Chains A and B, each alone.
Chain A
Amino acid sequence: MRITQGTFSYLPDLTDDEIRAQVQYSIDQGWAVAVEFSDDPHPRNVLWEMWGLPMFGIADAAAAMHEVSGCRAAYPGHYIRVSAYDASLGRQTTALSFIVNRPAAEPGFRLDRQEASDRRIRYSLHPHATDQPAGERYGSVSAAPGNVMPNGVRGGS
């Protein structure tokens, strides 16, 4: 099941050139671009892990693309998204957010039904991927999140 979320969820996956154009647009608007990744695709999981800090003060999309490709290389089997923060309103506002990388196979979700009192049914979505511990989902063999920092330096050095 192809998971969609974010700004261009209704479009096919963007190509690198399209991603670059969107990132350049964000930079030109004065938004800070950040790269985030996750292997927990539940739609209510909004807090993904950050790949480095948001990029303040960059002028060209090439810098963000460098980080995207770095993140892809480290987490090929994860969902990766690019977010742009608009600080002009004085609070953290996501102006743009879209998926730039997804695992090769996406097993999708299971619908769980829970019997509650008075024959009521509670529903919940259970991503099949989360049956595995974090870092081992989607056939990923990469290190668990948090152990490798964006610059390739092992944590704790």
Chain B
Amino acid sequence: MSAGAEPVPRGFAMPRPGPPAGEGPADGADPADGTVLAGAADPVGGTVLADGADPADGTVLAGAADPVGGTVLAGGADPAGLEPLAPDDTVDLAAQEQALRISQLLGRLDAEFIGLAPVKDRVREIAALLLIDRLRGRYGLTSSRPSLHMCFTGSPGTGKTTVATHMGELLRELGYLRKGQLVSVTRDDLVGQYVGHTAPKTKEVLKRAMGGVLLIDEAYYLYRPENERDYGQESIEILLQFMEAHREDLVVILAGYADRMDTFFRSNPGMASRIAHHIDFPDFTLDELLQIGEKMLERGQYRLSPAAGEAFAEYVRLRMSQPRFANARSIRNAIDRLRLRQARRLVAAGGVLARGDLMEISAEDVRASRVFRDADRAGGDRGGLAGKPAPPAPS
């Protein structure tokens, strides 16, 4: 084992105060990990077994050489550092944060989602709690997993479902969920059709969601006050029971419109109190909507010509004041229609095309929208959209 004389690269530069006695990579054997390193061949550490005998784990696990299984068991190789600390030790918070890649994760959240300040704040809080809890654990202080059930309320198209989809992944990377898969259900998937059907059905769904996120879209449909024999109540009871008993295994997210959610919680006070995070999704501002549109176009490998950009901004402004505006969803639909019109224009024009032509959306594609015509008409005779806020005149 003298071959492993060079230090084991750890992949992080964290001061490790109070190392266990005898720990030193010089002899290649790391007593903290309980595993025997064959030289310094493995950057993760603790996964290459010299003789296949692993004193740390007596259990039969598939593939002792599996780097994932090995590191999880070895424990000491975790970059966050899980070794216990003495009461008078100090820890560098920044290094810890870096090791857990929290700022990286939050940065990605910022880049991926435009606006949504309340959501980002909450995620930041949860991430900070994780960091502090890890440290508390190392000092021997108790740290219990917080309840992470959430309720997302907001207008249509404010990103409730999208955020829920990413929440699983995010919480997994933060270490709160083991798998982070998303199981998205509605009333139909939870509530049965006859007596005795609901409980197994709901449990089946809950089991599939364990280790990840259960998203119940339009959760208020679960409760039908007008029908007292409705099986929805039974489903809610099982949900509550699971949410309480399996807090560690499952995050339940209820999503829906704010007013109906309020009614739902009023009639199910147990549900409201079991949900720790009530997050309200604000409507997007014009700027945010434009940024979202830009992002969607970019993702679809399209671009707006400068004139089209101006037209699009005007389009969004008009569309916002029209009825049935669904925030980002309306933007996505508008972009889909832009693509249709662009395709029609290109096919009608015929001739020779370049790559750029296929990507560019022109002002006329945008201006052909019905929104401009409606706005013109409303501007012409003011009674065009009776009862609705009159949209501002287009120019």
Contact = CB atoms under 8 A, between A and B. Distances in A.
Nearest to B68: A28
Interface of B is mostly: loop
B207 A66 contact: yes
7 contacts: A59-B211, A62-B211, A63-B207, A66-B246, A151-B199, A157-B195, A157-B196
A141 to B, nearest CB: 24
Contact of A60 (B60, B61, B200, B249): B249
Contacts of A152: 199
A18 B212 CA distance: 21
Given A66-B246, A151-B203, 9 more contacts: A14-B59, A59-B181, A60-B178, A60-B210, A60-B211, A66-B210, A151-B200, A152-B199, A157-B196
Interface of B: 59-62, 178-179, 181, 195-196, 199-200, 203, 206-208, 210-212, 246, 248-250
A12 B377 CA distance: 82
Interface string A45-75: 0000000100101111111001100000000
User: 3 closest A-B pairs (Cβ-Cβ)?
Assistant: A60-B211, A63-B207, A62-B249
Contacts of B179: 59-60
A151 B207 CA distance: 13
Given A8-B60, A25-B62, A66-B246, A59 B196 contact: no
A105 interface: no
Nearest to A67: B207
B228 to A, nearest CB: 19
A144 B246 CA distance: 29
A112 B61 CA distance: 40
Nearest to A55: B207
B178 to A, nearest CB: 5
Contacts of A151: 199-200, 203
A11 interface: yes
